[in-house]
């Protein structure tokens, strides 16, 4: 960690809604997929900046449950991009000490992609320098619904007393059960909405909505946004005394 970073004022877990790839490409007269390819390259730069900024966990929103509504060309291109990203980046992620996890419903994803996801998770399972979580076919409401079904199965099977269910129970069934909640959520491209991302986990997260399109989101901008986090007063519903 850089010497001038105060751990008490640094977000341990940053989540990013990587928005604006398509618009970035269209502004340059390129197809939307061109922007997605540029955006994928930006992930590495931001990830590499995390250790010096004191960010231990980085979660990125790669493809939502609603993104299936896009054109078949774009969806197909994105799936190919995900496969290529995993193949291309696996060894560098391993060497950099990055542990990779995927969250989201894998049922709708093709078998080849799922196998690559499983392999990358297994390959990097021993790493602990930075934890990269990729939300793929992910939606916050869908995640809560799936978690609730699992919880209900445990209640029906007698493994869980319904009277013991409280707000600490459901997180154990979420995709993110082994991760701390995000401290800071960043959305690029100027849109000011959370788009069904980490709904339960972000209950007390700080939010930053910035105008920069994701392909233009540099490590320097990332550092500036992370730095602003330290100036925020987080009371979690209490009052300062």
Provide the annotated binding site for Mg(2+).
19, 206
- Give the span between the Cα atoms of 78 and 93, in whole angstroms: 20
Known binding residues for substrate are 20-24, 32, 36, 64-66, 68, 70, 187, 193-195
Burial of 8 (0-12, 13-18, 19+ CB in 10 A): exposed
Cα dist from 46 to 52, 55, 117, 222, 230, whole Å: 11, 11, 21, 7, 19
Contacts of 5 (CB under 8 A, 6+ apart): 52, 53, 54
Sheet holding 13-17, edge to edge: 98-103, 130-138, 57-64, 13-17, 184-187, 206-209
User: Beta partners for 64?
Assistant: 138
- Give the span between the Cα atoms of 10 and 4, in whole angstroms: 11
Beta strands in 42-195 (DSSP E): 57-64, 98-103, 130-138, 184-187
Catalytic pick among 4, 52, 67, 196: 67
Catalytic-residue membership of 19: yes
- Give the span between the Cα atoms of 187 and 104, in whole angstroms: 19
Catalytic pick among 4, 19, 111, 211: 19
Catalytic-residue membership of 105: no
Structure tokens, 9: 């004022």
Catalytic positions are 19, 67
């Amino acid at each position: 960690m850089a010497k001038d970073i105060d751990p008490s004022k640094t977000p341990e877990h940053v989540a990013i809604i990587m928005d604006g790839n398509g618009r970035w490409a269209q502004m340059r007269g390129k197809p939307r997929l061109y922007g997605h390819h540029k955006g994928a390259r930006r992930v590495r730069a931001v990830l590499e900046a995390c250790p010096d900024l004191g960010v231990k966990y980085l979660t990125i929103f790669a493809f939502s449950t609603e993104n299936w509504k896009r054109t078949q060309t774009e969806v197909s291109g994105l799936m190919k991009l995900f496969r290529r990203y995993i193949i291309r980046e696996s060894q560098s992620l391993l060497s950099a000490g990055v542990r990779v996890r995927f969250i989201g419903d894998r049922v709708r994803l093709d078998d080849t992609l799922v196998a690559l996801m499983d392999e990358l998770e297994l390959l990097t399972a021993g790493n602990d320098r930075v934890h990269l979580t990729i939300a793929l076919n992910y939606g916050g409401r869908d995640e809560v619904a799936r978690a609730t079904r699992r919880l209900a199965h445990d209640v029906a099977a007698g493994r869980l007393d319904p009277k013991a269910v409280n707000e600490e129970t459901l997180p154990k069934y979420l995709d993110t059960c082994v991760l701390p909640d995000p401290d800071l959520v960043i959305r690029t491209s100027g849109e000011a909405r959370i788009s069904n991302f980490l709904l339960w986990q972000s209950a007390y997260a700080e939010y930053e909505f910035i105008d920069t399109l994701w392909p233009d989101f540099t490590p320097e901008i990332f550092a500036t946004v992370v730095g602003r986090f330290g100036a925020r007063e987080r009371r979690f519903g209490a009052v300062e005394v």
